[in-house]
Structure 1
Amino acid sequence: MSSPSDATQATDNRLSKGCKRFPDWERHEGNKLKCPRCHKLIAVNKGSYSGVAKHEDSCKKQHAEAKKTDNKLLRDFVKAGVSAETEALLIEFVINSGSPLNLVDDKHFRKFVTALNRNYKPPSRRALSNRILSRMDNHFQAVKAWLREARSVNLTMDVWSRSSRSSFLSLMGHTIIENQLKAVVLDFRKLSGRHTAEAISAVVKDVVLQCGLVGRVRAITSDAAAVNVKAVKLLA
C-alpha cells in the first residue's frame, strides 16, 4: 500500500515531466501550473496535461491577436501623427506660395507626394479649402487675443481686382508690443459688387469692430487711388 508521501512524489514526478513539456509554465500550488501569458492556474489531473495544452493553444492565439492589434494601433497612431504634420506643412506651403488649391487634385502632384510618404494621402481641393477656412477662423481668434495687448494700431490696406468681376481687400494691422514692431493680417475679403468707397469703408469698419479696435486705430495707409482716399475719409 502506497503512502501519502509516495503519492506526492508521483505527482511531483508528473509535474516535472509537464514542466519539461511546457518549460515556460511555472509550477504552482501543488498540482497546478501557471500560464506565463495570462497567469491563470491550470490543474493537472491524474497526470493529464490536456487542460494545459488546450489553454496553451488558446492563450497563444489570443495574445498573438492582441499583439497584432496593439501593433496596428501603434502604426495607426504614428501614421495619424505623421499625416497631421504633413498636412499642416502642405497647408503652409499652399498659403505662403500662393499656389492654386486645385494643385492637390493634380495626379502628378499626388504621385510625387506618395513617393515621399506612402502613408499620406493628400486631401481633395474641397477638403483643403475647408481646412484652410478653418485655420482662418482660428487665426482670427488668435489675432483678437494678440491685439488686446496693443494700445494703438496702424492699418494698411490694399484693394485689387482679379478680374472685372472679382475684387479683394487685404487689411493688415501694425503695432508695437513689448518694444517690438508687430504686423499681422487682420482679414482678407472678397468685395461684393463694385468696389466703391462705400463698400471698402464698410469692410474696414466691420474688421475694426470684429477685432475690437474701435478707438485704437491711429492711421490708415493705402495707395493714392481716389476710391481709397474717399473710403478712409468716410471712416473718419
Structure 2
Amino acid sequence: MTSFIYDFAIKLSFRRVLSIYKLNTSSRNKTINYQQQQQILQIDDVAMSSDESDNDMAPSTMINSLSLLHSNNNNNNSNMTVASDSPKVSDADENVDQLTTKVEITTLDSQIQQNVMKLAELLTFFDECDGGTAYICKLCQTKIKKQNRSTANIRRHLGNIHGQTAFLFQSQIEQVPHKNSSISIELKKKLDEKQINSIIVDSRPFGDFSRKGMREFLATAIPGYKPLHRTTVRKRLRTLYIEHRRTLRKVLLNVSDLALTTDIWKDSRNRFYISLTGHFYDKQLKLISLTLGFRLLQGRHIANRLAKYIKNEIMSLNIEEKVRCIITDNAPNVVSAIRKLGIGIHHSCMAHNLNLVIKSTLFPPVKKK
C-alpha cells in the first residue's frame, strides 16, 4: 500500500516539475522575443526621424546625413549580429532556471516524503475490511467506505469525530464548522444512544426525532443538542444489527438442543412479514427465547420461497445440527415448506389448534343449502 502511494506521489511530482519547466521555457522565449522587438523598434525610430528631416535639408546636407545614417545602420547591424551570435545572457538565464528547477525538484521530493510519512501515520488509525473495500476505525469501530485514490473521507472522520485536525486537507479545515455547543461530548453520545434505543424499542420511524415539533421540544429541553439524522440512524442500526448477529452466534454456539417456531402475518398496510424464533433451556433450566430472523416477505408465499428463507437463516447461524423440531400453524404452504426443508420434526402449534377447536365449537360454520 505504501509503495503504491509513493509511486503515485512520484508521478504527480514529475508532472508538476515538467509543467514548471515548460513554464520557464515559455517565459524565457518571451523575454528573447521582447528584446528583439525592442531592437527593431529602435531601428524604425531612427529611420522615421531621418525620413522626417529629409524634406528640409539641402542636397549637401542630405548627402552628409545619408553617410551618417549609413554608418549608424552598420553599427546597429553589427550590434544586432553580436547580440544574436553571443547568447551569454540567455545561457546564464538557462543555468539559473536549471538550478531553480533542481531546487524545486528537491523541495517536491521532501514534500512527497513528508506526505508519505503522514499518510502512513494516517493509516495506522484504520484496519482494512471487506476484502480491502472499506476501513474500520480503531478508535470507534466505524466502517468507512474506501475511495479510489483518495483519503478525504477517512481524514474527515478523524478530524470531525476524533479531533485529529492535523490530518485534514486545507480545504477540509476551512469547511469545519465552528461548534459552540453547550453540551459535552459525553452527554451528546449518551443522548444519541438513547435516541437509537427508543427507535428500536418503540418501533419509531428513523426520522421521528428530526420532525419540527420534536426538534423544538429538544431545543427547549436540552439546548444545544441536535438529534441524529435518519441517514445516521440507519447506519448505526446496521452496525448494531451486525454486532447482534455476531453475539447471537456466540450464544447459540453453546446450545445443544434447539426448537424453532415460525409464523407469517401482515400489518395494517398489508405488508407481510415472516419471523423465526429459537427456544432452549440454559444450565439453570430457564426457558430462553431469541428472535433468530425477521424479514419483510415480498412476492408470492409459495412453499419453495418459505423453505429457502428458513434454510438460509438456519445455515447462517450454524444451527442445522442443533434443531430438534420446528413448530408452525396449519397453513398448507408453511407445512409444505417445513417438509421440503428436511430439518427437525414438524409439530403443529397446540395453541393454534386449541383456538381452531374453540372457534369451530362455539361458532360452527353455517352450511350452505
* TM-score, structure 2 as length reference: 0.40
1:214 matched to 2:320? The reply is yes
Find out whether 1:107 has 2:212 as its counterpart: yes
> What is the aligned partner in structure 1 of residue 293 from structure 2?
187
Q: Give % identity.
A: 25
Q: Do the aligned partners of 1:83 and 1:119 also contact (CA within 8 Å) in 2?
A: no
Higher helix share: 2
Q: Which residue of 1 aligns with 2:258?
A: 153
Structure 2 CA distance for partners of 1:234 and 1:99, relative to 1, 3 Å: same
Superimposed CA distance per residue, residues 79-103 of structure 1 (whole angstroms, 9 cap, x where no aligned partner): 2222222222222211121222231
**Alignment-derived partner of residue 12 in structure 1:** none
Task: Say whether residues 1:204 and 2:310 are aligned partners.
Answer: yes
Is 1:85 equivalent to 2:190 in the alignment? yes
Shift of 1:166: 4.0
> Residue 183 of structure 1 aligns to which amino acid in structure 2?
S
Report the Cα distance in structure 1 between the residues aligned to 2:261 and 2:250, rounded to whole angstroms: 20
Q: For residues 118-142 of structure 1, what are the alpha-carbon distances to aligned partners after superposition, in whole Å with 9 as ceiling and x for unaligned?
A: 2431112222122112211110110
8 Å CA contact 1:149–1:177 kept in 2: the answer is no
Instruction: Deviation per CA, 1:16-67: give whole Å up to 9, x if none.
Output: xxxxxxxxxxxxxxxxxxxxxxxxxxxxxxxxxxxxxxxxxxxxxxxxxxxx
CA distance in 2 between partners of 1:150 and 1:122 (Å):
40
Q: Which has the larger radius of gyration?
A: 2
CA contact (8 A) 1:173 1:183 kept: yes
CA separation of 1:92 and 1:222: change in aligned 2, threshold 3 A: farther
Describe the shift of the 1:102–1:195 C-alpha distance in structure 2 as closer, same or farther (beyond 3 A).
Answer: farther
Question: Hey, what's the Cα distance between the residues in 2 that align with 1:133 and 1:227?
Answer: 31
Go from structure 1 to structure 2 and tell me whether the alpha carbon gap of 1:184 and 1:116 turns closer, same or farther (over 3 Å shift).
Answer: farther
Indicate the residue corresponding to 2:5 in structure 1. Answer: none
Q: Which runs of 5+ in 2 are unaligned?
A: 1-179, 343-369
Give the unaligned 5+ runs of structure 1: 1-74
Larger RCO (CA under 8 A, 6+ residues apart): 1
- The number of equivalent residue pairs is 161
Alignment of 1:119-130 (within 5 A): 119-130=224-235
Secondary structure at the aligned position of 1:189 is classed as strand
One-letter code aligned to 1:197: A
Could you tell me how far apart the structure 1 residues matched to 2:195 and 2:246 are? 22
Equivalences for residues 1-236 of structure 1 within 5 A: 79-162=184-267, 166-179=271-284, 180-236=286-342
* Aligned residue identity for 2:292: L
Aligned equivalents of 1:119, 1:100: Cα separation in 2: 23
CA distance in 2, matches of 1:119, 1:152: 51
How far 1:163 sits from its partner (Å)?
7.6
Say whether the 8 Å CA contact 1:167–1:195 is kept in structure 2: no
1:95/1:164 CA distance change after superposition, 3 Å: closer
Instruction: Calculate the aligned-residue CA RMSD, in Å.
Output: 2.3
- What whole-Å deviation, never above 9, does each CA across 1:145-180 have from its counterpart, x for those lacking one? 011110011112222234888432211111112222
Query: 2: distance between equivalents of 1:122 and 1:200?
Result: 39
Supply the distance in 2 between the matched residues of 1:145 and 1:129 (Cα, whole angstroms).
25
Cα pair distance change 1:224/1:84, threshold 3 Å? farther
SS at match of 2:301: coil
TM-score between the two structures when normalised by the length of structure 1:
0.61
